[in-house]
Structure 1
Amino acid sequence: MKRQIIDTIEEANKIIIHRHVRPDPDAYGSQIGLKELISFNFPQKKVLATGKHENTLDFLAHPDNVTDDDFRDALIIITDTANTERIDDERYKLGKAIIKIDHHPNDDAYGDLLWVDTNSSSTSEMICELFDEAKDYKGWKMNASIARLLFAGIVGDTGRFMFQSTTLQTMTYAGALLSYGFDRTELFNGMYEVDRNLLHLKGYVYENFSMVENGVGFVKLTTEILQKYNVDESEASLLVGSLADVRGMRCWVFFIEDTKEIRVRLRSKGPIINVIAKKYGGGGHPLASGASVKTWEEADQVIEDLKKL
C-alpha cells in the first residue's frame, strides 16, 4: 500500500492535502509535513494544504488559500481523519481520487487507497514510515523543515512520549528526525509555553475538578468561565491532559462550552473510552477521544456512562 501511495503521488501533477477540523500538532504535522515532503522532492508539482487555520498552531505552520479551481483533477490526500464528517473542507469531494492515511480505528473506510495503522503513535509517524519507503524505493529526500513538522506531530500525539502508543519504532523515527538539526527548543516553546490567562484557568481546573466513584473525573468549563479568564475553546482544550497526574484518576472528561455546543474531551489511563465518544457522535483513540453534546443534561449522562464503564 505504501508503494501504491508513492506511485500515485508521483503520477499526480496537483495534490491537495486535508486533515481534520480543530487540528492538533499531529494534524498539521502529517498534513503540512507531507505537503512539504512532496514539494521538496517534486518542486514542479502543485501541492496545497487546505483547512481552517488554528491560531494556537501559529508557531508550527499555516495552511494554504485553496480555490475551487485548484480541486479540478487534483489528487486528494486526507491525513489523521477517521471519518468523513471530521474532514476539514468538504471540497475534498471535488478531487479525482482520494487517499486516506490515518492511525485512528477505521470505522469509516472512505477513499480509493486506504492506509490505516492503529498501532502507529501518530499519522506523522506514518509519514515518516512512508518517507522511509520512498527513500529506498524512489530516492526521496527530507530537510529540517519537514522533520520539524513530523517531530511536532509525533510529540503531540504521544504526550511527549509518555503515552502507551509510544513504541521503539516511534523513538527510532523521532531520533532520525532530530538528526536534521531543527531548533528543538524553539519548537517546544511553541508547543508548551502558554499565556498567563490560560495558566490561571488551569488553576481553576485544579481547584474545581471533581472525582467521583470508580476514579471518574470531570470539569465543566462554561462560556462564563472562559470569558472570565479570557480563554477561547481551543485554548481551553489544551488543558485536557492536566488531570493525568491525579492519583486514583482512571478516566476523565472536560466539558468545554462554546456558542453552539459543548465539546466533550475524554481521556483515560486504561478503560477504553472511545466507545463513549462514538455514542455521542464522536470518536478517536481508545484512550483519547472527543465528541460534542448539546445540553448539560447530556453532559451529565456522559459522566454516568463513564461511571458504568
Structure 2
Amino acid sequence: MKEQIRQLIEQASTIIIHRHERPDPDALGSQFGLQTVLQHQFPDKKIKAAGEMATSLAFMGTLDAVETDEYPDALVIILDTANEARIDGKDALRGRQTIKIDHHPDEDPYADIQLVDPTVSSTSELLVHLLNEWGYVIPEPAAIQFYAGIVGDTGRFQFRGTTSRTFSVAAQLLDTGIDTDWLYRNMYQTELAALQLQGYVLQHIELTEAGVGYVVLTQETLKAFNATVEQASLLVNSFAGLKGLKAWALFLETDQEVRVRLRSKGPVINEVAKEFNGGGHPMASGATIQNLTEVDGVISRLNEVAGAFRF
C-alpha cells in the first residue's frame, strides 16, 4: 500500500491535497507539510493545497485556488478526514486517483487507496513516518507544519495518543531548527472576544451526576461577546480539568445547525458522535444536531457511557 502510494505520487504531474472542513492544526499542518515536502522533492510537479482557511490558523500558510477542470488528470490526496461528508471541497473525489491518509478509525473508505493508522497521534505524525520510509527530505518549512499538527492533536503532548514514536518524530522535526516560540505564540494567542467568552463558559458549566460537563452557546450569546463559532470551538478544553469530569460537550448554535464538540477522559464517545451525524476518535469527536431541543438527547447518551465508566 505505501509503495503503491509512493509510485502514484512519483507518476503524477498534478497533485491536489485536501483535508477536512473547518480545519484544525493537524488538518492544515499535514496538508501544508506534505505539499512542501513534495514541492521540494519534485519541483517540476504542480502541487496544490485546496480548501477554505480557518481565520485563527491563517498564520500556517496560504491555500491555492483550484479549478474544477484540474481534477480529472490529478492525483488527489485527502488527509485527516474520516468520512466523505467532512471533505473540504466538492471536487475532491473527481481526481484520476484518490488516496486517503488518516489516523481516525476507517469507517468510511471513500478513496481508491486507503492508508489509515489509528494508533498514531495525528495525520502529521503518520506522514512523517511515511516520508521517512520513502527517504524524502523534510525541510524546515514542512517540519514546522508537521510539528504544529502533532502539537494540536496531542494537546501539547498531553493526550493518551502520544507515544514514544510521537516524541521521536517531534525530536526529528525540532532538529531541523524550527522556531517553536513563533509557533506557540501564533497557535495560542487569544482575541479579547474569545477570552471574555471563555469567562462566560467557565461560569455556565453544567455537570451531571454521571460526570458529564457541558456548555451551550447560543447565537445570541456569541453575538453578545462578538465571538465567532470558530473562536468558540477552541474553548472545548477550557474546563477539562474540572474535578469529577469524565466526558464533556460544547454546543455551538449556528444559523443552520448546532455543532457539538465532544471530549472524554476515558468513556468512548465516538459511538455517541456517530448517533448524532458525527464521528471521530474514541476520546475526541464531533457531531451535529439540528437545533437546541436535541441537546438533552446528546447529554442523555453521554450520561449512559460516562455512568458505566470507572476510573
Normalized against structure 2, the TM-score is what? 0.97
Paired residue for 2:301? 305
Determine the C-alpha separation between the residues in 2 that align with 1:71 and 1:110: 17
One-letter amino acid matched to 1:33: G
Give yes or no for the alignment of 1:4 onto 2:4.
yes
Give yes or no for the alignment of 1:172 onto 2:168.
yes
Structure 2 unaligned regions, length at least 5:
306-311
Paired residue for 1:242? 238
Deviation at 1:69, TM superposition (A): 2.1
Determine the C-alpha separation between the residues in 1 that align with 2:303 and 2:122: 29
Deviation at 1:296, TM superposition (A): 1.3
SS of 1:169's partner is helix
Aligned residues of 1:21 and 1:86 also touching (Cα < 8 A)? yes
Aligned partner (choices 267, 289, 294) of residue 293 of structure 1: 289
Aligned partner (choices 273, 277, 291) of residue 277 of structure 1: 273
- Per-residue Cα deviation, 1:202-232 (whole angstroms, up to 9, x for no partner): 1111111111111110000001111111110
Aligned residues of 2:93 and 2:111 also touching (Cα < 8 A)? no
Paired residue for 1:18? 18
Determine the C-alpha separation between the residues in 2 that align with 1:59 and 1:185: 14
One-letter amino acid matched to 2:159: F
SS of 1:85's partner is helix
Determine the C-alpha separation between the residues in 2 that align with 1:153 and 1:290: 18
Aligned partner (choices 189, 192, 195) of residue 191 of structure 2: 195
Aligned residues of 1:15 and 1:77 also touching (Cα < 8 A)? yes
One-letter amino acid matched to 1:2: K
Give yes or no for the alignment of 1:85 onto 2:85.
yes
Determine the C-alpha separation between the residues in 2 that align with 1:60 and 1:220: 30
Task: State the superposition RMSD in angstroms.
Answer: 0.8
One-letter amino acid matched to 2:72: R
5 Å matches for 1:55-134? 55-134=55-134
Paired residue for 2:144? 148
Which stretches of structure 1, 4 residues or more, deviate above 4 A after TM superposition? none
5 Å matches for 1:207-286? 207-286=203-282
Aligned residues of 2:253 and 2:291 also touching (Cα < 8 A)? no
Determine the C-alpha separation between the residues in 1 that align with 2:207 and 2:283: 18
Normalized against structure 1, the TM-score is what? 0.97
Determine the C-alpha separation between the residues in 2 that align with 1:240 and 1:71: 36
SS of 1:265's partner is strand
- Per-residue Cα deviation, 1:275-300 (whole angstroms, up to 9, x for no partner): 11000110000000001111212111
One-letter amino acid matched to 2:50: T
- Per-residue Cα deviation, 1:107-136 (whole angstroms, up to 9, x for no partner): 00121211000001000001101111111x
Aligned residues of 1:2 and 1:133 also touching (Cα < 8 A)? no
Aligned length in residues: 305
Paired residue for 1:53? 53
One-letter amino acid matched to 1:212: T
